[in-house]
Amino acid sequence: METRLDRYDGAREKKIALLAELIADSNNIVFLGGAGVSTESGIPDFRSGDGIYSQDSGISFRPVDIISHTFFTEHPKEFFDFYKRKLCYPNAKPNKAHMALCRLEKQGKLKATITQNIDNLHQLAGSTTTIELHGSVFRNYCMMCHEPYSLDYVISSEGIPYCSKCGGMVRPDVVLYEEHLDHQNIDRAIDFIEKTDLLIIGGTSLTVYPAATFAQFLPHDRVVIVNKSSTYLDLQAMLTIHDSIGDVMDEAIPQ
């Protein structure tokens, strides 16, 4: 959804030029991203019209209920059936947003990429300062002996994946509904945000907590929002761009 201002001739170009200027004037940048960063890699988001919550789960339960701790423990077979079909994209590749952020990190300007995504695409692009708030589908472990397992092991397992060493159930290292985020990751994210001189928020509608509240830890108002739909911070941000996160970041952070 674009704003009326975005429709004016040259408005988009001026906004991207302003973003590039803000980046040039900053040396301690933090990026906070959500599912919209990965949609351009073919991974659906959750809450849009075509998102996972709007799709048929393939079983007689709602997607939003399936990815909960209660459902996982009570119906593991159905959980993994949905999980493998809807949440795992082993062949997805980084898009222009991931690559632009990697360039910004290599320039020494981007100090942290805080992501709500579980797809490992920031790391595949080359980023080394990624904080994964919700874990990663590429990390899996036995719930009994904690033996680590790959995503390929989980996907290739028929039904529920079990540990080859002790027989325990293998689960993905992702945060399900009703589960707590790693407090160390939250503390690290807040620490970076408290020190940043520019916070870029992209590909997120800022409706998932606690990430939605991270901006309150900023000691200033230097916030940029890049998202196709509106967020509650749009009117408070220094700059809001309702456009493709990949296109905007690629143009604002040239090769």
Residues serving a catalytic function are 134
| Three-state SS at 135 | strand
Enumerate long-range contacts of 180-185, CB under 8 Å, 24 or more apart. 181/133, 181/134, 181/210, 182/133, 185/131, 185/132, 185/133
Distance, CA of 23 to CA of 197 (rounded, Å): 10
Is there a cis peptide before residue 210, judged by omega within 30 degrees of 0?
Answer: yes
Identify whether the C-beta of residue 166 lies closer than 8 Å to the C-beta of residue 144.
Answer: yes
Strand partners, 141: 148, 171
Whole-angstrom distance between the N-terminal and C-terminal Cα of the chain? 28
Tokens of 208: 């998932």
Distance, CA of 98 to CA of 23 (rounded, Å): 16
Tokens of 152: 């390929």
